[in-house]
Amino acid sequence: MMRTNDEMMPLPNEGVSDSGEDDGSFEELLEQYVEPVAEREIGELIRARVVDVKKEYVLLDVGDKAEGIVDIREFVDFRGNVTVAPGDEVEVVILGRDSETGQVRLSHRKAKQRSTWARIVEAHEKNYTVLGVVKKVTPKGLLVDVGIPAFMPASQVNIHRVENLASFVGQEVEAYVIDVDNQRQRAVLSRRKKQEEDLKRKRAELLASLEEGATVTGKVKNITEHGVFVDLGGVDALVPREEVAWEKRVDPAEVLKVGYNYKFKVIGVNRERERVTLSRRQLKPDPWEKIEQNYPLELVVTGTVINLTPTAAYVVLEDGLEGRIHRDHLSWALTVRKPSDILKEGDTVKAMVIGYDHNKRLIELSLKQITMDPWLEVESKYPVGSRVKVKVMDVVDYGAFVQLDETTKGLIHVSDMSYDRNFKNPKKLVSPGDEIEAVVLKIDKEARRINLGIKQLEDDPFETFLAQHPENSVVTGTVKNVTDFGVFVELAPRVEGLLHKSQWDRHRVEKLEDVVKPGDTVTAKIIKVDHEDRKISLSRRQYLLDEERRQVEKYTKQEPVDAKINLGELLGNVKPKLTE
């Protein structure tokens, strides 16, 4: 009994597994029913016209006495829709002829696979992309339908590591074919290569379009101690730390947040090295350009102490500018020697603008200038000639620095410590911490100097002596020292005179040490006084001449009857009397 065409069609699931995919026995079953096609070669790819679309198969005109037949499932898309209609032309591969029905067995799927594989190979050879739909996740990557199943390794899915590959299932992807196996008709895809190529092209376009001075928008990627890295959409750019803000000591993380978009100014483009430098601060005018206009001298400002060093305190002002208070401008008080004596970080202070450090972009400030200058009253408080109690602060070779009060200090020079001209060591007289009395000698308000003296507390023995022994007076003293050029004679405590060698005797003396020694008593005449250099010049020779003259005058005035001693005897007694 003959079977109708419908009866001769295989059952819907004949040779197909329950999963809907051909199992391994399909080809074997097919070979039992299919006879070789004499007119056409098995495996030949041909174009055929759709004659009819049945529920379970499609009939095609292949130019043979019998029609060709294709399983309907080869024309059903992933949504379940039949993709062909009568009159359509499709490509098919000849599988053979059914021995019972005489129909030509065809495969549209194999035709698609063959053309698809040719396209895949061409894409690999000519390096262009293919489109596909991700079907499922495998242990090592994704299975992508590009007309045939193709494998995409996990490392080739994305530029960055993908934690959840399942999120790609069902998505259409564009990828490069990076490897093919012609014998097994297997292909390996890379979406990552496509991304890298797009990124490179986009980077090149962006670098070509960037110009210094342009304003761009970018997303903050990372913040480091050196600056901020920004993604400009394919090109990473750097905002150096100092270009984040005009304010000094600003933490970039307080100004810019990772993941947020900001505007920046392009300040450098190196196309060869693909490096772009940006600035956030240059979007705003530099406040330092009008610093002297906005912060004139003597302006009182308010700020917060942000750093202390041994020599200065640093203050940030209300608009982010930074000021510096040098230790010399902290206080009028002498006890304040370093910033930490009166300030700590976080303190709010008021200070006066006294200058500008343009190189370091610092406003010079002063704390003490906002209080009254004690030197305005120093002359009335410490008039010249007044006696004051002072405390010795420091002793140096040339004198001692003393403190008059909390804000005023002065100097006692070594020459004003003693009337002794040989006094050279202040440390023998005073020590740091000593509280002593001194006399104000001089005030220099411009130089802010006060000179004081200790020796002025008592009368000057030099002037006191000369008041009693003026020039041409005869004085007697003790020899303190004998030198080649003269003899130093102590005339009174702390008063000396010099008796020059030429003034020793009426006759020339070769060696003074032959005629006088320390401790001898000498009488001489004051022949010269230098008040400025505090020098007294003596002459024993002049004294002897004066004595001779006086004796002669005395002798000539004697009455003849009383003249019992002759002149020679009288003059002979003068010299021995003076050298005893």
Residue 59 is predicted with a pLDDT of: 94
User: Could you give phi then psi for residue 409, rounded to 5 degrees?
Assistant: -130, 165
Task: Tell whether the torsion through CA atoms of 461, 465, 470 and 476 is positive or negative.
Answer: negative
Residues 27 and 59 in one domain: yes
Determine how many CB atoms are found less than 10 A away from the CB of residue 186. Answer: 15
* 513-518, Cβ contacts within 8 angstroms, sequence gap of 24 or more: 513/482, 515/579, 516/479, 516/482, 516/487, 517/479, 517/482, 518/479, 518/480, 518/481, 518/482
- Comparing CA positions, the residue from 277, 284, 287, 285 lying closest to residue 240 is 277
Q: Which two tokens stand for residue 300?
A: 């009182």
**Which of helix, strand or coil describes residue 173?**
strand
Task: Tell whether the torsion through CA atoms of 559, 563, 569 and 575 is positive or negative.
Answer: negative
Here the CATH number for the domain that contains residue 450 is: 2.40.50.140
Average pLDDT over residues 307-321: 88
Residue 7 is predicted with a pLDDT of: 38
Residues 28 and 109 in one domain: yes
Choose between 77 and 36: higher pLDDT.
Answer: 77
- CA 327 to chain CA mean position, Å: 23
Residue 566 is predicted with a pLDDT of: 58
DSSP state of 22: B
Residue 6 is predicted with a pLDDT of: 40
pLDDT tops 90 at residue 507: no
User: Could you give phi then psi for residue 303, rounded to 5 degrees?
Assistant: -155, 175
Of 104-113, 137-146, 255-264, which gets the smallest average pLDDT? Answer: 104-113
The answer to whether residue 562 is domain-embedded is: no
The answer to whether residue 296 is domain-embedded is: yes
Q: Which of 370, 398, 427 finishes a domain?
A: 370
Choose between 548 and 78: higher pLDDT.
Answer: 548
Residues 508 and 528 in one domain: yes
In percent, the amount of the chain with pLDDT more than 70 equals 89
Residue 240 is predicted with a pLDDT of: 93
Rounded Cα distance between 479 and 512, Å, is 12
Rounded Cα distance between 132 and 144, Å, is 6
pLDDT tops 70 at residue 565: no
Q: If you count DSSP H runs as helices and E runs as strands, how many of each does the chain have, helices first? A: 11, 31
The answer to whether residue 94 is domain-embedded is: yes
- Comparing CA positions, the residue from 135, 140, 180 lying closest to residue 156 is 140
Residues 528 and 552 in one domain: yes
pLDDT single digits (tens) 525-550: 999 999 888 899 999 999 999 888 88
Residues 135 and 107 in one domain: no
pLDDT tops 50 at residue 17: no
Residues 218 and 189 in one domain: no
The pLDDT mean for the chain works out to 85
Rounded Cα distance between 37 and 544, Å, is 169
CA distances from 452 to 6, 164, 386, 411, 449 (A): 135, 88, 10, 6, 10
The answer to whether residue 570 is domain-embedded is: no
Determine how many CB atoms are found less than 10 A away from the CB of residue 498. Answer: 17
Residues 348 and 250 in one domain: no
Domain tally, the chain: 6
In percent, the amount of the chain with pLDDT more than 90 equals 52
pLDDT single digits (tens) 383-417: 999 999 999 999 999 999 999 988 889 999 999 99
Residues 381 and 340 in one domain: no
Residues 348 and 411 in one domain: no
pLDDT single digits (tens) 515-531: 999 999 999 999 999 98
Q: Which of 263, 283, 303 finishes a domain?
A: 283
The answer to whether residue 578 is domain-embedded is: no
pLDDT single digits (tens) 327-370: 999 988 878 889 999 899 999 999 999 999 998 889 999 998 88
The answer to whether residue 480 is domain-embedded is: yes
Residue 577 is predicted with a pLDDT of: 43
The answer to whether residue 202 is domain-embedded is: no
pLDDT tops 60 at residue 38: no
The dihedral region occupied by 267, where left means phi > 0, alpha psi between -120 and 50, and beta the remainder, is alpha
Q: Which of 434, 457, 480 finishes a domain?
A: 457
SS (H, E, C) 250-298: CCHHHHCCCCCEEEEEEEEEECCCCEEEEECHHHCCCHHHHHHHHCCCC
What's the domain range around 276? Answer: 210-283
Average pLDDT over residues 188-202: 90
Rounded Cα distance between 218 and 233, Å, is 7
Residues 381 and 347 in one domain: no
pLDDT tops 50 at residue 283: yes
pLDDT tops 70 at residue 574: no
The answer to whether residue 119 is domain-embedded is: no
pLDDT tops 70 at residue 317: yes
pLDDT tops 90 at residue 143: yes
* Helix residue spans in 16-107 (DSSP H): 26-33
Please list the residues that pair with 96 across neighbouring strands.
105
Rounded Cα distance between 176 and 131, Å, is 9
Contact call for residues 410 and 452 (beta carbons, < 8 A): yes
Residues 15 and 99 in one domain: yes
Residues 445 and 499 in one domain: no
